[in-house]
Amino acid sequence: MTIDGAIGGGVPVELTRTQLEAIGAASITTTTPWHEGTPQFEGVPMSALLEHVNATGEMADVVALNDYRTSIPVSDFTQYPVLLALKQDGEYMSVRDKGPMFIIYPFDDFDELRADIYYSRSAWQVRRITIK
For the domain that residue 112 is a member of, what is the CATH number?
Answer: 3.90.420.10
Number of domains in the chain: 1
* Residues 23, 6: Cα–Cα separation, whole Å: 19
Buried b (16+ CB within 10 A) or exposed e, 1-13: bebbbbbeeeeeb
* Residues 65, 56: Cα–Cα separation, whole Å: 25
Give me the mean pLDDT over the 62-70 stretch.
Answer: 97
Buried b (16+ CB within 10 A) or exposed e, 119-129: eebbbbbbebb
* Residues 128, 130: Cα–Cα separation, whole Å: 7
Structural domain harbouring 123: 2-131
Select from 87, 82, 84 the least CA-distant residue to 113: 82
The answer to whether the pTM exceeds 0.85 is yes
Confidence of residue 103 (pLDDT cuts 50, 70, 90): very high
With contact defined as beta carbons under 8 Å apart, do 101 and 84 qualify? yes
Measured in degrees and rounded to the nearest 5, phi and psi for residue 30 equal -155, 150
As a whole-number percent, the residues of the chain with pLDDT over 90 amount to 98
Strand partners, 59: 73
Give me the mean pLDDT over the 108-117 stretch.
Answer: 97
Cα Rg, the chain, nearest whole Å: 13
